[in-house]
């Protein structure tokens, strides 16, 4: 691959890349640059100062410094005093805010011989002189330099300060070379979202394990056999060693499917499901009350945490369901059901159809549906029908569930996305 890329650059734009591309682990890339595709032309690096700030009274730094899920870093900008005006620093403060940062602390180093008096920043008064000069020593900062700080949750610091590093490098053309090809390796096998683990690349990437038991020991710490090629901060290619052992590929997937077979389906009324959610003590993005259309977070809580089994929810409020679903005797709910499975949520939806013409007409009136437009549908009841039901199966979701493919877009043969179909 390197030979092909070098030959391509040489023949097309007359550029001779390094004879051997640099190799960097994902962990080092995130630690030093806050990005898994760092632009190594830019000679700016993060320095970890978490331990230095743990005992400071300045909560902006000491809070994250004592939080295991946070980090505190410093980044030196050589000769920043000449490059960075207060207006530019204010603009950069707004810029990092895009990534969730609450602010952008900095120190301008005017003199290293006058103690705190030689340092210019609103934060200088809040941090001990010993700590300040420890940070200056760690970063290798000199007179005329500027040090920027990032403190907070690890992802926010990485995203905001990684983007700031790239922007400063580009704005002031702080480049040590013209081209910087790089291999990034040892990616995490999984990433966490909504308290669930997902394959960072895709579910067919091989993990770095010695035995199948390693998958159960600490899956969040597993590394994958994936790799990316990065040039000047752009990912130009990626790949992985695929899983080629059946026991590894089926691990977890077979257990998940066996759980469905062994436990069977739990049946629960919509009203009962709402009460379970209201009393569970968990915070949801969408508040729970009777009459809402259950969201994915609600459905997955029920089947993954409360029941840990497939769930059939029955008898939904009539106001959130279609007019053709059969009205129950209580006059408030309809004979509708959804089938939920762990890992996905809803996979099947269905209902008994309303066969009584007078009830159907009343429902259409309540929902402001023109009976004339739907005359053909009413005729199916007018001239005789029988009690009947129907359901819709999420076929792509089912395929994803039984194959372990997490992204439904990889399973849709004809994606119904804007601009993807002519008619």
Please give the domain boundaries of the chain with CATH numbers for all domains.
1-240 (3.30.1360.30), 253-411 (3.30.930.10)
pLDDT beyond 60 at 423:
no
d(CA 154, CA 131): 22
Pairing label, strands 119-120, 190-193: unpaired
pLDDT beyond 80 at 3:
yes
d(CA 308, CA 311): 9
Averaged pLDDT score across all residues of the chain: 90
Q: Using an 8 Å Cβ cutoff, are 112 and 198 in contact?
A: no
Q: What is the pLDDT of residue 168?
A: 97
Q: What is the pLDDT of residue 257?
A: 76
121 to 83, 87, 104, 149: CA distances (angstroms): 16, 14, 11, 12
Residue 412 host element (H or E): none
Q: What is the pLDDT of residue 282?
A: 82
Least-confidence region, from 167-171, 247-251, 376-380, 397-401: 247-251
What's the whole-number mean pLDDT along residues 375-402?
88
Q: How confident is the model at residue 406 (pLDDT cuts 50, 70, 90)?
A: low
CA atoms in the 13 A half-sphere facing the CB of 22: 17
Q: What is the pLDDT of residue 345?
A: 82
Q: What is the pLDDT of residue 285?
A: 85
pLDDT beyond 90 at 415:
no
pLDDT beyond 90 at 304:
no
What backbone torsions phi and psi does residue 413 show, to the nearest 5 degrees? Answer: -70, -35
Please write the tens of the pLDDT for every residue from 34-73. 999 999 999 999 999 999 999 999 999 999 999 999 999 9
φ/ψ bin of 315: left (φ > 0), alpha (ψ from -120 to 50), beta (otherwise): left
pTM above 0.75, yes or no: no
What's the whole-number mean pLDDT along residues 327-348?
91
DSSP state for residue 12 in the 8-state scheme? H
Structure token pair of residue 338: 């959804």
Between residues 232 and 417, which one has the greater pLDDT? 232
Q: What is the pLDDT of residue 37?
A: 95
Which residues make Cβ contacts (< 8 Å) with residue 347, sequence separation at least 6?
339, 340, 341, 393, 394, 397, 398, 401
What's the whole-number mean pLDDT along residues 403-408?
73
Q: What is the pLDDT of residue 251?
A: 65
Closest CA to 235 of 246, 227, 247: 227
| Percentage of residues of the chain with pLDDT beyond 70 | 93
Least-confidence region, from 27-36, 52-61, 238-247, 271-280: 238-247
| Percentage of residues of the chain with pLDDT beyond 90 | 68
Please write the tens of the pLDDT for every residue from 175-184. 999 999 999 9
What backbone torsions phi and psi does residue 110 show, to the nearest 5 degrees? Answer: -85, -35
Q: How confident is the model at residue 1 (pLDDT cuts 50, 70, 90)?
A: confident
Instruction: Decide: helix, strand or coil at residue 402.
Output: helix
The residue behind tokens 């490059």 is 83
């Amino acid at each position: 691959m390197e030979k092909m890329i070098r030959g391509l650059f040489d023949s097309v734009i007359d550029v001779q890349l390094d004879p051997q591309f640099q190799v960097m682990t994902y962990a080092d890339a995130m630690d030093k640059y806050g990005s898994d595709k760092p632009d190594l032309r830019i000679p700016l690096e993060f320095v970890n100062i978490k331990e230095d700030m743990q005992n400071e009274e300045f909560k902006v730094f000491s809070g994250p410094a004592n939080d295991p899920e946070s980090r505190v870093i410093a980044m030196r900008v050589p000769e920043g005093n000449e490059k960075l005006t207060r207006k530019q620093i204010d603009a950069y403060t707004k810029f990092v805010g895009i990534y969730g940062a609450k602010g952008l602390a900095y120190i301008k180093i005017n003199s290293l011989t006058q103690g705190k008096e030689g340092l210019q920043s609103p934060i200088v008064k809040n941090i001990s002189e010993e700590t300040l000069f420890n940070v200056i020593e760690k970063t290798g900062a000199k007179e005329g330099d500027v040090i920027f700080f990032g403190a907070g949750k690890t992802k926010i610091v990485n995203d905001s300060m990684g983007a700031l590093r790239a922007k400063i490098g580009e704005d002031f053309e702080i480049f040590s070379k013209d081209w910087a090809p790089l291999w990034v390796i040892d990616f995490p096998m999984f990433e966490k979202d909504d308290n669930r683990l997902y394959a960072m690349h895709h579910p067919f990437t091989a993990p770095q394990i010695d035995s199948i038991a390693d998958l159960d020991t600490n899956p969040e710490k597993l590394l994958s056999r994936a790799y990316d090629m990065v040039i000047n901060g752009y990912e130009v290619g990626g790949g992985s060693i695929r899983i080629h052992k059946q026991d590894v590929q089926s691990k977890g997937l077979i257990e998940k499917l066996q759980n469905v077979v062994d436990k069977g389906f739990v049946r629960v009324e919509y009203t009962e499901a709402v009460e379970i959610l209201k009393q569970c003590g968990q915070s949801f993005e969408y508040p729970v009350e009777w009459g809402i259309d259950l969201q994915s977070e609600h459905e997955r809580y029920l089947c993954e945490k409360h029941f840990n089994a497939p769930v059939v929810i029955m008898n939904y409020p009539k106001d959130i369901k279609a007019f053709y679903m059969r009205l129950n005797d209580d006059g408030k709910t309809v004979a509708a059901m959804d089938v939920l499975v762990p890992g996905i949520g809803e996979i099947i939806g269905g209902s008994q159809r309303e066969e009584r013409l007078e009830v159907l007409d009343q429902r259409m009136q309540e929902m402001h549906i023109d009976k004339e437009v739907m005359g053909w549908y009413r005729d199916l009841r007018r001239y005789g029908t029988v009690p009947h039901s129907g359901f819709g199966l999420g076929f792509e979701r089912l395929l994803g569930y039984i194959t372990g493919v997490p992204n439904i877009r990889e399973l849709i043969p004809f994606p119904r996305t804007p601009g993807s179909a002519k008619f």
